[in-house]
Structure 1
Amino acid sequence: MLVVDKPRGPTSHDVVAWARRALGTRAVGHAGTLDPMATGVLVLGVGEGTKLTPYLMSEDKAYETTIVLGAETDTLDAEGRATSEHDVPALDRATVEAACARFVGTYLQRAPAVSAIKKDGVALHERVRRGEDVEAPEREVRCDAIEVLDVRAREIDLRVRCGKGFYVRSLGRDLARELGTRGHLGALRRTRSGAFGAEDALSGEVLQRARRGDEDARAQVRASLRSLEAALSTIARLDVGASGARELRHGRALRIEEPVVREPIAALDESGELVAIVRWSEGALRVVRGFAPRASVEGAS
């Protein structure tokens, strides 16, 4: 796994391309998109790690954001075109905190029209670019906490903890409307994604130098690679021992009592190495996604 502090401007796919060049492999993928305007934690899977990224996309995330009041944009961020404007009332921290409290919990949130959500196989942002009138869907989302960091005349700084599928851009729109005005995100930084925080991240500038061939930077990238097991802090673990690991590595079902853990389940061998992502069905653990033994991967590289 490689955790990158994405700079403002490039897409998540751009960062994946940098890592491919820096590490000399096509086997790189990300575990959750960041908008071009956003900065912060972007988790990449490398090699066998690409098999793990689908299970990390549903991890909880944390953000810090600045909401600019007075204008809403078509993208709901500073990259877009203003679509509506409104006077900004005088606000104090207590008023903003009371409004934020209405968005904590589970509720239906309308996604941004400019988003990667697909309708009939086509991303909404592509439909918008074609000039189509797009109504984004409402989806059930979960927000665990909103902390008000600062309130200024036309800007609000927030810290947000949320679950999968939560759009901070939509929160900016909806909170501004709740406060009697319009708004969009002026800045967005992801500070945590699952097990990884900003303190774990490699500078995006180092990764850019590495993809251009800087050997010192490439050494820093290789030194920043994390084990698959480091990503599992929020995924249920189950020690299956040496014999159980052998069964699962051969794709065979492992008969055990029903584990008292939620899925997905990471099955580990006696040394703590990830063997497979498994599910429990009909009295046995069954492999959903297997992982090559670390020794064989390192020997091949």
Structure 2
Amino acid sequence: MLELTGITKRYGDRLALDDVTFAVGDGRLTGFVGGNGAGKTTTMRIALGVLASDAGTVAIDGRPVDAADRRRFGYMPEERGLYPKMKLLEQTVYLARLHGWTPAAARRNATELLERLGLGERLNDTVESLSLGNQQRAQIAAALVHRPEVLVLDEPFSGLDPMAVETVQAVLADVAATGAPVIFSSHQLDVVERLCDDLVIIAAGRIRATGSRDELREQHGSQRWELLTSGDAGWIRGIPGIDVVGFDGGWALFEADSDASRRAVLAEAVSRGDVVSFTREQTTLAQIFKEVVQ
């Protein structure tokens, strides 16, 4: 487990990070979301040792992270940093070799990874000749080629088309399946919501919410309920404590002033024998994000 505790960072009089605390669990995909300037990149750089914090600790498995631990990290910065005139496979093999891989093993792993990322036909192309989307995939390959034990990615889905997003999602899920903690930032909240096990929301340098998708929906989700019946649901208006938000034939969206009122709706629907579904309204990550950062 990668743990950040009490991370604080100042730039002069500006407090960039204020007591940032969260954990990235082993084998868990954690989405790190926040607006521009919220502190995501600064937090990641401190976790990697690229920046020093003014206070707080970064730990792995309960002990402070050291240089040897960080050599086992994989990192993809938001800014592309590959050598533009090197061929793609040559570049990726080179990075694996820097981590101590033998030439044969580095080439084998780099080739397999690039093919998985949909770059198998571009192995001998220079990095600068690739499209922006393919350069992004190449940057992801650079972070993964040494098979890191912790993975930190800054906006990995930026510039990718929907098919490429699906490909990268599958690769990251496989990395997490090996037991590695994986954290990535993204502005694409729909992707984060679909892919992640856990979420961390940051705003103005402070953590506003953290937890699994289900936990955040329980804490910040909608208190409205949907009822769908095979008949007319107009009777719901007569249930005490119920405020009908939307209504259309057998469908009703409502708020209840108590659990007892909600249960009364369900009991009445069951007694009429025509319940198709009775569910809490699904709350999106975008809605939760808007609530917690305001």
Q: TM-score range by the shorter chain?
A: under 0.3
Bigger Rg, which one: 2
Larger % of strand: which? 1
TM-score with structure 1 length normalisation?
Answer: 0.24
